[in-house]
Amino acid sequence: MAGKLSTQRIQQSVKSLRTDWVEIGGLGRLAIIGVILAFVVTLALGFSITRAARGHLLDARAAMVTVAVEDLPPFPTEGESSRAEYAAFDVAVRVSVLGGETVRVKVFAPDGTIVYSDATELIGQQFELSVHAVGAFTGDTGTHISDLSDPAHAFDRGHGELIEFYVPMRDATGEVATVFEVEQDASGLNDALGLIARNVWISIAVGLSAIGLVMAVGIAARTREVNRRRRQAEELLESSFSAQEAERRRIVGALHDDIGQPMYRLLYGIEGSRAKLDPSDPIAVELDHLADVVRDMDGTLRNELRLLHFELAADAGLATALEELADLTRLETDLEVDLSIDLDHEPGPVYRTEFYRAAREAITNVRKHADATRVIVRFTGGIDRLTLEVIDDGISFQSATYFGLGLSTTRRRFRALDGDVMLEGRGSGGTRFLAWLPRREEVPE
């Protein structure tokens, strides 16, 4: 039960959103699309700006490290004969490179052996060269942010995340003899990037808020205008409906009192005059003919009055009107009529009349064209719409070929109330007529 209610709420929300999307008009839809595009573009810009800032900061640090390393004296490649050179190199490293954010330096030989480090316990140990170190041996300066998981960082893991710079060091012949690795604490970089990102996203939020505010004001103005026009259209439709109902009542009264009653008197007069004449009298024969004409006229008038009466019967309630329509159909035809009505409360007068007219039009078409033996009439009140179905078991018709004047008129009236009328052939035979109106428009009495 809870799942069904949840599904119904979702369906109602989707329907409401779809209706709102239609009602805000082209300008409102364009504004919403503009806000969405602006949001997507600004998000993309925000991420690209922070990524670009990160790259530029790393490039700037790499350039500074490269300059510092290139200013160092040449690294001695021969042990005992170059102790003085080694000591001078060590002093230069500790003065020019170490300190500040730089927490570790290493010099790698091509085979992965560390030939120099500020951590003397690392000197002489051999590790597998990283991709960036290998690239540096080809002459490229590499930059990498390490998570310190590889074995070469066993002594560095207390520092957290480190930035690794790999700078090639060339010998007298210009060949890359060793690679100088500088490891810097990444916290300063991350703080700077955090500040940049914060400022970027604040700027984006302010910009989006301004755009959203302008768009919201425009959409609200457009929505108010659309709603105002819709209310005017509904009032005009209600006024037109009331005028039609008043005119129909006047016509019913006029036909019954001003035409029907005099016609009865005429018929009684003809029959009275005919009774005074011999049956073989030519005048009597002519009076018989005139009486038949008057009776035919009376039958036609009665049929029209009955149709008008049933349409007025919608004022007594839609269920009552549909039951009378079903009874009349059973009386006048051999059709089996199954009527079911599932409605929690009575629709307003406009809806009652339109649904009654639609049911009458659908049943009339079944009687005229479908060659059916059974017709099902269902009227249901859902969460978001009121629906009328008329299903027969006769000849199957398609909407593309079967929308005549009556159905076309019915469809126009329903569309004027934001509903619609559809007609579809059934695979098992017969035709399904469907008419619906949005429940939000329905006003109970």
For 282-297, the pLDDT digits (tens) are 887 888 888 788 788 8
Look at residue 123 in the predicted model and tell me its pLDDT.
86
What secondary structure, in 3-state letters, does the chain show? CHHHHHHHHHHHHHHHHHHHHHHCHHHHHHHHHHHHHHHHHHHHHHHHHHHHHHHHHHHHHHHHHHHHHHCCCCCCCCCHHHHHHHHHHHHHHHHHCCECCEEEEEEECCCCEEEEECCHHHCCCECCCCHHHHHHHCCCCEEEEECCCCHHHCCCHHHCCEEEEEEEEECCCCCEEEEEEEEEECHHHHHHHHHHHHHHHHHHHHHHHHHHHHHHHHHHHHHHHHHHHHHHHHHHHHHHHHHHHHHHHHHHHHHHHHHHHHHHHHHHHHHHHHHCCCCCCHHHHHHHHHHHHHHHHHHHHHHHHHHHHHHHHHHHCHHHHHHHHHHHHHHHCCCEEEEEEECCCCCCHHHHHHHHHHHHHHHHHHHHHHCCCEEEEEEEECCCEEEEEEEECCCCCCHHHHCCHHHHHHHHHHHHCCCEEEEEECCCCCEEEEEEEEHHHCCCC
CB 435 within 8 A of CB 388: yes
Give the pairing type, strands 374-381 and 385-392: antiparallel
Q: Considering only CA atoms, which of 163, 159, 167 is closest in space to residue 189? A: 163
Q: Which of 275-284, 332-341, 359-368 is predicted least confidently?
A: 275-284
Beta bridge partners of 338: 376
Percent of the chain with pLDDT over 70: 76
Residue 393 gets which letter from DSSP? S
pLDDT, residue 159, reads 63
pLDDT at 31 over 70: no
Please say if the pLDDT value at position 314 is more than 60.
Answer: no
Which domains are present in the chain?
Answer: 72-185 (3.30.450.20), 317-445 (3.30.565.10)
Q: What is the mean pLDDT of residues 191-213?
A: 77
Confidence of residue 198 (pLDDT cuts 50, 70, 90): confident
**pLDDT score for 378:** 94
Decide if 429 contacts 374 (C-beta within 8 A).
no
Give the CA angle between residues 187, 189, 192 to the nearest 5°: 110
Report phi then psi at 444, rounded to 5.
-70, 150
pTM: 0.43
pLDDT over threshold 60, residue 81: no
- Lowest-confidence range among 44-48, 69-73, 239-243? 239-243
371: left (phi over 0), alpha (psi -120 to 50) or beta: left
Residue 21 has pLDDT above 70, yes or no: no
